[in-house]
Amino acid sequence: MNSYPTAAQRLPGGLLSWPRRAEAWLDDHGRKAWITAMVLGFIFFWPLGLALVAYMTVTNRWSKDMFGSTCRTARRARWGEDRVRASSGNSAFDAYKAETLRRLEDEQAAFEGFLNRLREAKDKQEFDAFMDERARAPRPEAAPLPPAQA
């Protein structure tokens, strides 16, 4: 997700100064374009390259997340469920990995069940202690009713 608006989004009609147009163009082309501009800035006029390094640092343009789906690297597979379940090409390893993941999921479910039973036992113990304490507390005497007048 691009956190910076493109040139068309910034002003109606896309009327921007040339630095803003250059910034929008670089944003649209990703982090590699920014790094290329920085290197060229160092080659042709070192203060420009230094200014681009400072600008990229202040605006977090070094981050891969800044460019979102416009950057080619964002389209690559991410570490997550898809990456873990993907086949390695080795059937023996894939079978071992699937069995290990299944075993770990079973152990996780068993451990979560144990934690739930432990919480329930603690809650029951606290409730029983409360009820015992309440039963031992002296009860106030009921005031005698006045005799009924006929």
Residue 25 in this model has a pLDDT that exceeds 90:
no
How many separate domains does the chain show?
2
Q: pLDDT digit string (tens) for 76-121?
A: 444 455 556 677 788 899 999 999 999 999 999 999 999 999 999 9
- For residues 55 and 98, membership in a common domain is answered with no
Q: Which of 75, 104, 124 is the last residue of a domain?
A: 75
Are 30 and 69 contacting, i.e. CB atoms less than 8 angstroms apart?
A: no
Reference 56, options 68, 41, 43; nearest CA is 41
> How many CB atoms lie under 10 A from the CB of residue 57?
10
**Single pTM value for the model:** 0.35
What range does the domain containing 128 cover?
90-135
Would residue 13 count as lying in a domain? yes
pLDDT of residue 11: 52
User: How many Cα atoms are found within 13 Å in the side-chain-facing hemisphere of 118?
Assistant: 6
- For residues 13 and 67, membership in a common domain is answered with yes
- For residues 24 and 64, membership in a common domain is answered with yes
- For residues 103 and 43, membership in a common domain is answered with no
Q: Which residues contact 38 (CB under 8 A, 6 or more apart)?
A: 49, 52, 53, 56
- For residues 20 and 59, membership in a common domain is answered with yes
Q: Which residue has the higher pLDDT, 86 or 10?
A: 86
